[in-house]
């Protein structure tokens, strides 16, 4: 951390803040220029994130050098993290495909989805049982009943399950039925929930908040990791901007950015980000070309009958085509799709 002070500051001003910082255990390197005094602060300056520098007279600016996260950083762990779940793995050479309906609606729907996805070689089933909805009047999901339906269908077809957890109390209810717990965009900074998820052993997929920076995403990962759970999967699902043609703006540059800053795997959600089914396939290919470790896609056996997000759901046939096209791009960037052996 670098402290910039006015060179016209009195010695008292400089001493006051210097003493305070030294008492907190930091070493200082002072360099007096004509216009500015520059003070290098040495030590774990993450502890100074909230130090009220600007309340001290003479202080002009404070410049951060160290990244505020640690366990999630590439400096801390050079090699990419590969998370193994059953016979799937996320973060390695193989690209993970997660697919399924926005929400579990009934036994038939989730059975049909699981069967279709399984035929397409998919290993991870997504589906919502507890749904976060902007309006209290929207369908809120089937809850525990939905969880059981999904779990049974998944078992029947040998699929792993990823589903969203919205509150601390739900962790114990959901964990027995899920292989990966998802934290939704609206809960990315629900820190109490993140802390609890740091105590479990199952992998957590953390979706980027609609207006969260890359740094905040990694800090939220750090909440989970510093609690003891290192199996964090990041997910880019679009940010909120002025553009309204798409539901959100898919920020794909984040994919190679995360690869530079962190060792954690990153998944892309082209369904929620674009909100338009005709954009899902091209953006899936783009995500893979950018270096994503996987995709999470809304697939419904009958989108016309979907109780939510029908506008962005693919049917099984379109999804089959997406897999074929995406596989070609995966090969072009030296990767392959996760255990996919298309049997259709």
Q: Which stretch binds a copy of itself (CB under 8 A): 74-82, 93-101, 130-138, 153-161?
A: 130-138
Residue with tokens 């990962």: 221
Instruction: Identify each DSSP E strand in the chain by its residue range.
Output: 2-6, 27-32, 36-42, 59-63, 83-85, 88-90, 94-100, 124-126, 160-164, 180-183, 204-207, 232-236, 266-268, 294-298, 336-337
Output the smallest distance, CB 271 to a copy of itself, in A: 12
Are 187 and 196 a contacting pair, CB within 8 Å? no
Among 123, 207, 231, 285, interactor with a copy of itself by CB under 8 A: 285
Question: Which 3 state secondary structure label does DSSP give 215?
Answer: helix
Bridge partner list, 151: none
Among 308, 322, 323, 340, interactor with a copy of itself by CB under 8 A: 308
82 vs 210, beta carbon nearer a copy of itself: 210
By CB under 8 A, tell whether 214 contacts a copy of itself: yes
88 vs 308, beta carbon nearer a copy of itself: 308
By CB under 8 A, tell whether 309 contacts a copy of itself: yes
Among 117, 178, 267, 283, interactor with a copy of itself by CB under 8 A: 283
168 vs 342, beta carbon nearer a copy of itself: 168
Task: Give the footprint of a copy of itself on residues 131-170 (CB under 8 A).
Answer: 132-139, 166-170
- Residues 74, 70: Cα–Cα separation, whole Å: 8
Among 100, 116, 303, 320, interactor with a copy of itself by CB under 8 A: 303
Output the smallest distance, CB 87 to a copy of itself, in A: 26
Output the smallest distance, CB 124 to a copy of itself, in A: 22
By CB under 8 A, tell whether 174 contacts a copy of itself: no
Among 24, 186, 317, 344, interactor with a copy of itself by CB under 8 A: 186
By CB under 8 A, tell whether 4 contacts a copy of itself: yes
Task: Give the footprint of a copy of itself on residues 254-273 (CB under 8 A).
Answer: 254-257, 260, 273
By CB under 8 A, tell whether 25 contacts a copy of itself: no
For the chain, percent helix, then strand, then coil, each to nearest 5? Answer: 40, 20, 40
Tokens of residue 274, six digits = 């674009």
Angle at 134 between CA 133 and CA 137, to 5 degrees: 75
Among 19, 29, 75, 172, interactor with a copy of itself by CB under 8 A: 29
Render 305-340 in DSSP notation, one character per residue. G-SS-GGG-B-HHHHHHHHHHHHHHHHHTT-EETT-
Q: Which stretch binds a copy of itself (CB under 8 A): 89-97, 116-124, 147-155, 241-249?
A: 241-249
82 vs 257, beta carbon nearer a copy of itself: 257
154 vs 294, beta carbon nearer a copy of itself: 294
By CB under 8 A, tell whether 94 contacts a copy of itself: no
Question: Which 3 state secondary structure label does DSSP give 111?
Answer: helix
By CB under 8 A, tell whether 78 contacts a copy of itself: no
309 Ramachandran zone, left/alpha/beta (phi>0; psi -120 to 50):
left
Q: What is the DSSP letter of 222?
A: H
By CB under 8 A, tell whether 76 contacts a copy of itself: no
160 Ramachandran zone, left/alpha/beta (phi>0; psi -120 to 50):
beta
| CA distances (Å), origin 111, targets 172, 302, 305, 320 | 24, 12, 15, 18
159 vs 314, beta carbon nearer a copy of itself: 314
192 vs 344, beta carbon nearer a copy of itself: 192
Among 92, 251, 324, 339, interactor with a copy of itself by CB under 8 A: 251
In the Cβ-directed half-sphere of 290, how many Cα atoms lie within 13 Å? Answer: 24
């Amino acid at each position: 951390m670098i402290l910039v002070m006015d060179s016209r500051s009195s010695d008292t001003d400089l001493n006051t803040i210097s003493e305070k910082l030294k008492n907190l255990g930091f070493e200082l390197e002072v360099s007096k220029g004509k216009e500015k005094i520059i003070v290098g602060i040495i030590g774990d300056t993450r502890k100074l994130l909230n130090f009220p520098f600007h309340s001290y007279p003479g202080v002009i600016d404070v410049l951060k050098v160290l990244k505020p996260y640690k366990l999630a950083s590439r400096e801390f762990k050079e090699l990419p993290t590969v998370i193994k779940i059953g016979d799937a793995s996320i973060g390695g050479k193989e690209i993970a495909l997660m697919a399924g309906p926005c929400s579990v609606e009934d036994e038939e729907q989730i059975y049909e989805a699981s069967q279709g996805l399984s035929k397409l070689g998919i290993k991870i089933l997504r589906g919502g049982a507890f749904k976060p909805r902007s309006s209290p009047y929207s369908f809120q999901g089937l809850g525990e009943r939905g969880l059981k339906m999904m779990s049974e269908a998944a078992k029947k077809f040998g699929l792993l399950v990823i589903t969203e957890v919205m509150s601390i109390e739900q962790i114990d209810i959901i964990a027995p039925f899920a292989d990966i717990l998802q934290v939704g965009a609206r809960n990315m900074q629900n820190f109490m929930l993140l802390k609890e998820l740091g105590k479990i052993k199952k992998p957590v997929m953390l979706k980027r908040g609609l207006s969260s920076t890359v740094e905040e995403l990694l800090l939220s990962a750090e909440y989970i990791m510093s609690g003891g759970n290192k199996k964090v999967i990041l997910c880019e699902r679009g940010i909120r901007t002025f553009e309204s043609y798409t539901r959100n703006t898919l920020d794909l540059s984040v994919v190679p950015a995360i690869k530079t800053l962190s060792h954690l795997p990153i998944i892309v959600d082209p369904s929620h980000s674009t909100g338009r089914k005709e954009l899902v396939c091209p953006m899936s290919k783009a995500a893979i070309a950018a270096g994503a470790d996987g995709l999470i896609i809304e697939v419904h056996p009958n989108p016309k009958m979907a109780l939510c997000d029908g506008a962005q759901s693919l049917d099984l046939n379109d999804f089959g085509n997406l897999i074929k096209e995406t596989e070609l791009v995966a090969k072009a960037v030296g990767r392959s799709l996760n255990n996919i052996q298309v049997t259709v």
